[in-house]
Amino acid sequence: MLKSSYRIVGLILAVLIGVILLGAVAVGQEASHGVAPADQLSAYRAIGLGGAAAFAIAVSVLGAGYAVGRIGSAALGLAAEKPELLTRSILFVALAEGLAVLGFAVAMMLMQKI
């Protein structure tokens, strides 16, 4: 189980690094066609902000998924023993899901700066 999660995380990181490198290659090709240095710096800034936004959403969604999985399974175990506590335990699942919403909000704020 742990090895498969490491494989998934490795795959996600490989995709993110590939996207960043492809963006750098695209900027490099544009720079060779006579783009002014100020435009080149703004392109690098846009790539950096895009990478930061992608990293923010990826980490927050992975963390929220992990938290919801752990808390959700504990909540269902609690509901099997004491059904009257189900609504309280669902509140904790919703709080964990709020982490993904916060990551999305941070990513959108970073994308507004591009």
Boundaries of every domain in the chain: 2-112
Place of tokens 């742990």: 2
Measured between alpha carbons, how far is 70 from 109 in angstroms, rounded to an integer?
A: 29
DSSP tag of 35: -
Listed in sequence order, the residues at least 6 apart from 57 whose beta carbon sits closer than 8 Å to its beta carbon are 103, 104, 106, 107
Report how far apart, in Å, the C-alpha atoms of 16 and of each of 9, 20, 49, 91, 108 are: 11, 6, 13, 33, 18
Measured between alpha carbons, how far is 74 from 70 in angstroms, rounded to an integer?
A: 6
The type of residue at 57 is I
pTM score, two decimals?
0.58
Low-confidence winner among 5-9, 21-25, 78-82 (lowest mean pLDDT): 21-25
pLDDT digits (tens, 9 = 90+) for 34-79: 555 566 667 788 888 888 888 888 888 888 889 889 988 888 888 8
**Alpha helix positions (H), the chain:** 2-31, 37-81, 86-112
